[in-house]
Amino acid sequence: MDIIPISLPLDLPAPMWFLKFALITFFLVHILFIAFMIGGTFMTVFFRMLRKEDPFWSRMAREMGNTVTVNKSIAVVIGIAPLLAISLVYTNFFYAANNITAPLWLSIIWLVALAFISLYIYKYTWDSTKYSDRFKYFWGVLAFAIFMFVPLIFLSNINLMLYPDQWKNIYGFWQAIWAPNVLPRYLHFLNASVALTGFFTLVYFNFKLKDHHEDAAFYTRAKNLGAKWAMYATLLQLLFGFLNYVTLPVTADSPMVLYLIIVAIIVAGIAVYLLSLNLYAGKNIHPIIIFFVILVVASIMGTLRHVVRENALREPKKIMAMKTDLYRAQLATFMKTYSPTGEVVVTGESVFQGVCMACHAIDHKVVGPPMQYAIDKYKNDRDAMIQFVNSPRKINPDFPIMPKPPISEKEIELVVDYLLNLEVGSNE
């Protein structure tokens, strides 16, 4: 964990609780429209390739294509809010991961621009006889491929920021995607996009049906197709959700994670049941009710992702706080013991007070254990204490691992000698 950066926090533009609320809320809305964009692009491209003798597929592709250009614009605009929120809430970890995956992370800008251009070429050459079907399909497939690839860049970067212990072993995006949980989480997201697009299709064509009774046959078939996509993809999500959960690093897991997963499965089961009533039991459950149920599931999953983030970063954030305190103590010691006119004699007491006291007291717990514990343990083994301070390791599960103090070998020896010769209970 030595690679974890220190924190030099600036004043935030809003309270932390509000930033976290904004992160969860706006990310949920953003990811919904991202899902509609990806699923809609798939439909508009690949439905067009199906059974040309059946005009339903061509019309279905055109109708879904009209929704994609709107959904992608909403997704991009709303996506700014959670991106800003996550950069404020998890600044050090977020930007550290950005640096590791920088070339691909920055490529998102031109990749998204190219996808939008490709999508518009595909859409506005639809009825043109100047261009072949291959030409049109090329631009549609290119847009879809980019829309599939960009979320993988995001996921690898967001996943990487949660596990600083892996930063030393990962050099760029192509290694980051093989980190634990990235690919299962990506598959989970893609299948969720299919499911959510199915729910969107159900609601969208139900509203279209109200205004176009003359096309009842088409719109009824279209919304039923969306309902089937939603139902089967939601059921398949049990498999992808299981893979996602079992590959979750242990530091990110907790009873709350499992509780939220169980609640999400139960609510998703209700949505599937309502869909089955409409499709196979002749019932007429309003699509808005079904869509509301799946929004509850999406809200639970959004909250779940935040819990996973907080769990995974709990220990790294403690280490970052400790390293920050040590840095500030070191700086304070430097300002007290050094001057432009020459070096002032450094003592073990001054080093302890200037550096170690940021995390340790003699007879009570601060961030780390009381020094009385270390004095008793090492009172007859000075070298072992020096060695531990030089190369700290996790010993007590109740305390975070101590980072290596930012002091010299000589200063370590001075502070060890000071502590081992300290008369506990005196004014010192």
DSSP output for 80-138: HHHHHHHHHHSHHHHHHHHHHTHHHHHHHHHHHHHHHHHHHHHHHTTT-SSS-HHHHHH
Q: Is residue 331 part of a domain?
A: no
Place of tokens 């953003």: 30
pLDDT of the residue at 160? 92
**How far is residue 354's CA from residue 360's CA, in Å, rounded to a whole number?**
11
pLDDT of the residue at 179? 86
Domain end position, chosen among 257, 285, 320: 320
Number of H helices, E strands in the chain: 14, 2
pLDDT of the residue at 327? 81
Angle at 176 between CA 171 and CA 180, to 5 degrees: 135
pLDDT of the residue at 118? 94
Q: Is residue 242 part of a domain?
A: yes
The band of 307, judged by pLDDT with boundaries at 50, 70 and 90, is very high
Kindly tell me if the per-residue pLDDT of 10 is higher than 80.
Answer: no
How confident is the prediction for the chain on average, in pLDDT? 88
Q: Is 342 left (phi over 0), alpha (psi -120 to 50) or beta?
A: left
Q: Average pLDDT, stretch 3-10?
A: 77
Kindly tell me if the per-residue pLDDT of 335 is higher than 70.
Answer: no
pLDDT of the residue at 345? 65
The band of 340, judged by pLDDT with boundaries at 50, 70 and 90, is low
**How far is residue 275's CA from residue 371's CA, in Å, rounded to a whole number?**
63
Q: What residues have CB less than 8 Å from 261, skipping those under 6 apart?
A: 241, 245, 304
Q: Is residue 6 part of a domain?
A: no
250 plus 209 within the same structural domain: yes
Angle at 349 between CA 348 and CA 353, to 5 degrees: 120
377 plus 297 within the same structural domain: no
Name the residue among 258, 371, 251 with its Cα closest to residue 318: 251
- 210 vs 61, higher pLDDT: 61
Name the residue among 248, 388, 247, 394 with its Cα closest to residue 318: 394
280 plus 139 within the same structural domain: yes
Q: Is residue 79 part of a domain?
A: yes
Q: Is residue 3 part of a domain?
A: no
Domain assignment of residue 136, given as a range = 16-320
pLDDT of the residue at 428? 40
Q: Is residue 330 part of a domain?
A: no
Kindly tell me if the per-residue pLDDT of 425 is higher than 60.
Answer: no
The band of 404, judged by pLDDT with boundaries at 50, 70 and 90, is confident
300 plus 408 within the same structural domain: no
CB atoms closer than 10 angstroms to residue 105: 18
35 plus 147 within the same structural domain: yes
> What is the enclosing helix (H) or strand (E) of 408?
none
Q: Is residue 336 part of a domain?
A: no
89 plus 177 within the same structural domain: yes
pLDDT of the residue at 426? 38
Angle between helices 371-378 and 382-390 (to 10 degrees): 130
234 plus 367 within the same structural domain: no
Q: Average pLDDT, stretch 350-362?
A: 82
Number of domains into which the chain is organized = 2
382 plus 296 within the same structural domain: no
Q: Is residue 277 part of a domain?
A: yes
pLDDT of the residue at 33? 95
307 plus 349 within the same structural domain: no
Kindly tell me if the per-residue pLDDT of 112 is higher than 90.
Answer: yes
pLDDT of the residue at 419? 87
**How far is residue 1's CA from residue 225's CA, in Å, rounded to a whole number?**
50
Q: Average pLDDT, stretch 342-351?
A: 71
pTM across the whole model: 0.77
pLDDT of the residue at 214? 78
156 plus 266 within the same structural domain: yes
349 plus 316 within the same structural domain: no
pLDDT by residue (tens digit) across 149-169?
999 999 999 999 999 888 888
The band of 427, judged by pLDDT with boundaries at 50, 70 and 90, is very low
124 plus 232 within the same structural domain: yes
